[in-house]
Amino acid sequence: MYKAVAVVFTLFFAFSVAFNERWGYINVNQAENANLFYWLFESQTNPSTDPLVLWLTGGPGCSSELAIFFENGPFQIDASTLQPIPNPYGWNKNANLLYVDQPAGTGFSYANSYYIKNETMVAQEMYTFLQGFLNRYPQYRNLPFYITGESFAGHYIPATAAHILVQNENPKNAKINLKAIAIGDGLVDPIATAESWGPYAYDNGLISSSDLGQVNQALAVCKQDIQQKNYGQAFYDCNNVFGTVLNYAGNINYYDIRKQCTIPPLCYNISAITAYLNLPAVLKQLGIPNGIQWTACTNGVYGPFATGDFETSFRFDIPRILTQARVLVYNGNEDLIVDYYGQTAMLNTMKWPGQNGFLAAKNETWHVMGQGAGTSRAYQGLTYLVVNNAGHMVPHDQPKNALDLLTRFLKDQPFN
C-alpha cells in the first residue's frame, strides 16, 4: 500500500514539508494473516544516498508511532488543535527513517491472534518484513541499513540483527546491507538489569539501606529462577524486585527519576497522540482497516512474552554482530527501569575478543555544540554512551543531543 505524500499534506498539515512519506502494510505470515504497519519519512537531505534507519519501539507491544510523535519523528502533535507540528530535531534530517509496528497486533498492525512469543519469531518475521519492504521499494535496497530502538527493543534488535547476518550468508537471499545497530535504554540482559535496580535507586536517594536489603532478598529469588531457566516464574519474581524498589521509592517516574508518575503505566500524557491517530480522517488516509483503533501498548502482545522470552538474555548476540557490524549502546542517566548501572555491568562482563580493550578504553566526554552531553567509551566497533539529563526516552528528553547521537552513529564518528 502506497500513498503519495502530496495527498497527505492537504489532509494532515498546515505547513510545507520537503520530504516524502510512505506507509502501508506488509504481510509477514499468511497463515495468521499477520500484517505489519510501516511509516517511512524520507531524508530531508538526499534520500537517494542517505542511509535507511529502522526504529523499533519496545514494550513488548508498544507502537512505534509513539516514537514518531513523542520522540524522534519529524512531527509532534499540538494538543490544542490535534494537528502535527514540526519537530526541528527529527531523525530524518539525514536519514530515511522507517518505523514499524511489531510484533503483529502492535499499534496499527494486526493478525488473527497474538501468536508471537519469542525473539526467534520476532527476528524471522522482521526479516520477512524487511525483504518485503525492500522489494516494494528497491531504491532503498543498497543503502546502508541501521537498526535502532529502545527499551524491549534490547531484545528485538540483537535478535533481528543476528538473524539478518545469518541470512546474508546464504547466497540465495537478497542481502540486507546492515552496517550497525543502536540500542537505547534497552533490556538486553535481564539479570544485569535486575541486579542494578537496588544499587541505582539507593545511590540516587530513592531508597534507604534497609530498603536495599529487602530488594536484594527479592533479587536472589529472581536470579535463581533465571539461572534454573525457569523463565516463566522469573518474569513474576524479577518484576517483584522492581516492584519492591518502587514500593519504597514512592510514586516515582521509573522512566525518569526526576519526575513523578502522574499517569501510569507510561507516566506521560499521550492523549493528544492517541486522539490524533484515531481521527477518522487519519485512519482513512493511512489505510487502516475498519475496526482497528490505535493504542500505545497492547497487552495481548505483551502477555505471550512473559512465559519465557522476557527474562532471556540477548547479550550473547552482540559479539556475533560485532564481527560484521558496529554496535552502539546508549542510556539516559536518569532512567531507572533500564538504568545505566546494569548496562555498564553487562558490557563490562560481556565475553568477546575486544573485552580487555573495551575495559581499558578511556572514558571520553561527549560534547554537543561545546556543551558536555554525556560520557562515552569505545573499542573495536562497540560504543557505550551515557547521556546526561535524560531518562528512558533519550530523544524526548534531549532532542538536540539525540540528533547529534544519530548523526555520529551513522557517520561512525567518535563521541567526544
* Domain-located, residue 378: yes
Mean pLDDT, the chain, whole residue set: 95
The torsion angles phi and psi of 339, rounded to 5 degrees, stand at -80, 165
176 with 220, same domain?
A: no
Which of the residues 101, 317, 335, 404 is marked catalytic?
335
Share of residues in the chain with pLDDT > 90 (%): 94
Q: Which of 64, 109, 151, 313 is catalytic?
A: 151
- Long-range contacts from 136-140, C-beta under 8 angstroms, 24+ separation: 136/2, 136/26, 137/22, 137/40, 139/48, 140/52, 140/96
Residue 182 C-alpha cell reads as 543502536
Would you list the DSSP string of 67-90?
Answer: HIIIIISSEEEETTTTEEEE-TT-
Question: How is residue 183 written as a grid cell?
Answer: 540500542
Q: In this structure, is residue 265 part of a structural domain?
A: no
Residue 301 above 50 pLDDT?
yes
Please say whether the beta carbons of 177 and 184 come within 8 A. no
163 is catalytic: no
For 241-252, what is each residue's pLDDT tens digit?
999 999 999 999
* 108 and 239 belong to one structural domain: no
CATH number at residue 317: 3.40.50.1820
Residue 151 falls in the annotated catalytic set: yes
- As a whole number of angstroms, the distance between CA 57 and CA 40 comes to 15
Q: Which residues lie across from 181 on neighbouring strands?
A: 147, 327
Q: What is the pLDDT of residue 4?
A: 29
Average pLDDT on 278-295 reads 96
Asked if residue 2 has pLDDT above 50, the reply is: no
Examine the domain organization and report whether 176 and 228 are in the same domain. no
Q: What is the pLDDT of residue 8?
A: 38
Q: Which cell is 251 given?
A: 510514586
Longest dimension (CA), the chain: 61
- Which residue segment(s) compose the domain that 378 sits in? 5-188+310-411
* C-alpha cell, 216: 536484594
Give pLDDT, residue 262: 85
What residues contact residue 13 under an 8 Å CB cut-off, 6+ apart? Answer: 83, 84
Look at residues 75, 74, 68, 76 and name the one whose alpha carbon lies nearest to residue 93.
74
| Domain end position, chosen among 215, 234, 249 | 249
6 Cβ contact list (under 8 Å, min separation 6): none
pLDDT greater than 70 at residue 6: no
CA atoms of 385 and 362, how far apart (whole Å)? 12
Q: Which residues contact 291 (CB under 8 A, 6 or more apart)?
A: none
Rounded distance, CA 55 to CA 62, Å?
12
Q: Is residue 281 part of a domain?
A: no
214 and 134, same structural domain? no
- If asked whether residues 223 and 234 sit together in one domain, one would say yes
Percent of the chain with pLDDT over 70: 96
In a domain, 258, yes or no: no
In the prediction, which pLDDT does 1 show? Answer: 27
Do 144 and 241 have their domain in common? no
Question: Is 400 buried (19+), middle (13-18) or exposed (0-12) by CB count in 10 A?
Answer: middle
Cβ atoms of 101 and 107 within 8 Å: the answer is: yes
Q: Does residue 11 surpass a pLDDT of 50? A: no
Cell output for 201? 535507586
Tens digits of residue pLDDT in 314-352: 999 999 999 999 999 999 999 999 999 999 999 999 999
- When pLDDT is cut at 50, 70 and 90, the band that residue 15 belongs to is low
Same-domain status, 60 and 94: yes
Active site residue 64: no
Q: Indicate whether 147 and 230 sit together in one domain.
A: no
Please, which pLDDT band fits residue 18 given cuts at 50, 70 and 90?
confident
C-alpha cell at 260: 513523578
* Judgement on whether residues 180 and 321 belong to the same structural domain of the protein: yes
What confidence tier does 16 reach under pLDDT thresholds 50, 70, 90?
low
How confident is the model over 205-221, as pLDDT tens digits?
A: 999 999 999 999 999 99
Domain count, the chain: 2
Identity of the residue numbered 251: N
Q: Cα Rg for the chain, rounded, in angstroms? A: 21
Average pLDDT over residues 16-45: 94
pLDDT tens digits, one per residue of 344-399: 999 999 999 999 999 999 999 999 999 999 999 999 999 999 999 999 999 999 99
Per-residue pLDDT band at 264 (split at 50, 70, 90): confident
Which of 227, 249, 271 is the last residue before a domain boundary? 249
Per the residue annotation, which of 392, 396, 397, 404 is the catalytic one?
A: 392
Q: Are residues 13 and 113 in the same domain?
A: yes
